[in-house]
Amino acid sequence: MSEVGPSHRVRPVVPADLDAIAAAEPELFGSQAWSRGVYAEEIERPDRCYLAVDVDGRLAGYAGVALDPEWTVMTIGVLPWAQRRGIARALLHALVDAARRAGGTELFLEVKAHDGGAQQLYRDAGFRLVGLRRRYYQPEGVDAVVMRLDLGGPTRRVGPVGAEAVAADPAGQREAARRREAAMDPFVDVAAAHDLIWSADPPVVLDVRWALGAPDGRAAYAAGHLPGAVFVDLETQLAAPAAPELGRHPLPEAAHLQASARAWGIDTGSTVLVYDDAGGTSAARAWWLLRWAGLDRVAIIDGGLRAWVDAGHHLEQGMIRPRPGNVVLRPGGLPTIDIDEAAAWTADGTGVLLDARAGERYRGEVEPVDPRAGHVPGATSAPTVQNLTEAGWLRERAELLDRFARLGVTPAAADAPRVAAYCGSGVTAAHTVAVLASLGIEAALFPGSWSQWSNDPARPVATGP
């Protein structure tokens, strides 16, 4: 018996609990509900451990674990009136402790493949994805993911957070240095992303669904996202508040971005995958900001959500709120130019300034959001969408090299031009920067982009092809 809160108590399940458990089962588990008779047999088995949590003397939740030889979490149920009070977490920790005391070295469980909230509970306790069982839950035919916990040691280091954690952990510094040396390519295909997500050291996955006409992708995210993916709000987490003199998506303050990154669960040394449902053109903003802030293990999933679904992989539902991370961000890792540098970038013939907006916006034929139509004088039209196939996948390397060569941009050489890119507000131009990085070409980002330039009446505007 143990205390888990001022009015919480964990204890063994006893026969007197069975009526309340049997009444709660259908509401909690539907067709997978167990009967009172099954529980009556289960709690008498020597190879089982069933625990309950009381709140103020009232049954709030119950859970069970199969011991040797199965080592499997059987169930965790929290009565509706007691939900969102940490009951499930307390029960899970108690089950893990029971398995350890019984001599277990590993613990398994199955959970519905679409149930992101439940899976996050288990991830926070140290469980990792190890398999997928198709149509495991009957009669619905719902897939299940299998998760495993190594009982041999602590599930996650608990200690100082931030710079003090790095100073206190030389081994962590060495690991971070090793990861920096093995910096990721800006893009990974869906097969590599799948292998990473199901690995023993899974990445932090960020869902950045945003579009010019649909800036809030929260509802789409909740309806289905990659396993463990955290929703990222581009408007509030990947940008500072809009201002005419700065643009529609100014770079966020370093402290604000670090707080967001920690809220997403990013630790020092984490691998981060980002994706969207727009060919990576909004996810690239997260890629750019994290690379700019000093993280090297960051990549965009080529094809994003569509590629994941087309490959037959499952989606989770609901909002994920991971355990906070401890990453320390240090901005300045990627080059930027300001509005004055953008004005002078092509003047001496040594620089190429790429305009990543649609061609009609560059030419000044339309301007849906900013005060003036046209482009920065001297800029070259290079629409971001032309980095992609019609299906939304990144074009082949040879095609991309040819495309940028025709725009006057070639891989590093003694006489290679300086390259910078801008778009409407510094979002989709980040995709062009990422594509160029994948080709071995460094490009600076003009964060204020056209939204800053067009709001300054002193800046000249060019139109036409």
pLDDT digits (tens, 9 = 90+) for 142-151: 899 999 999 9
Per-residue model confidence (pLDDT) at position 31 = 84
Of 192 and 174, which is predicted with more confidence?
192
Does the pLDDT at position 230 exceed 50?
A: yes
CA distance 327 to 263: 10
- The H or E element spanning position 291 is helix 283-292
- Secondary structure (DSSP) of 342-369: HHHTTTTSSEEEEE-S-HHHHTTS--SS
Band (162; pLDDT cuts 50, 70, 90): very low
CA distance 21 to 18: 5
Band (67; pLDDT cuts 50, 70, 90): very high
Quick one: 333 exposed, middle or buried, by C-beta within 10 A (0-12, 13-18, 19+)? middle
CA distances from 404 to 75, 96, 387, 397 (A): 56, 55, 10, 11
Mean pLDDT within 287-314: 96
**DSSP classification of residue 134:** E
Which contacts (CB < 8 Å, 24+ apart) does range 193-202 have?
A: 193/226, 193/273, 193/275, 193/301, 193/308, 194/308, 194/311, 194/313, 196/271, 196/273, 197/129, 197/226, 197/227, 197/228, 197/273, 198/129, 198/130, 199/128, 200/128, 201/271, 202/128, 202/129, 202/228
pTM comes to: 0.79
Does the pLDDT at position 197 exceed 70?
A: yes
Q: Which domains does the chain have, with CATH numbers?
A: 2-150 (3.40.630.30), 166-310 (3.40.250.10), 339-453 (3.40.250.10)
Annotated catalytic residues are: 423
CA distances from 304 to 187, 220, 307 (A): 10, 14, 5
% of the chain with per-residue pLDDT over 70: 91
Q: Strands, DSSP E only, in 151-229?
A: 187-188, 204-207
Mean pLDDT within 374-398: 96
Does the pLDDT at position 48 exceed 90?
A: yes
Of 157 and 348, which is predicted with more confidence?
348
Per-residue model confidence (pLDDT) at position 1 = 41
pLDDT digits (tens, 9 = 90+) for 82-121: 988 889 999 999 999 999 999 999 999 999 998 988 998 9
Is 148 in contact with 106 (CB distance < 8 Å)? yes
Band (6; pLDDT cuts 50, 70, 90): low
Is 337 in contact with 445 (CB distance < 8 Å)? yes
* Ramachandran angles phi, psi of 262, nearest 5°: -65, -40
Mean pLDDT within 174-199: 75
Angle at 247 between CA 242 and CA 251, to 5 degrees: 75
Q: What is the mean pLDDT of the chain?
A: 89
Per-residue model confidence (pLDDT) at position 85 = 86
The CB-side HSE value for 189 (13 A sphere, CA atoms) comes to 5
Does the pLDDT at position 403 exceed 50?
A: yes
Band (215; pLDDT cuts 50, 70, 90): confident
Of 177 and 227, which is predicted with more confidence?
227
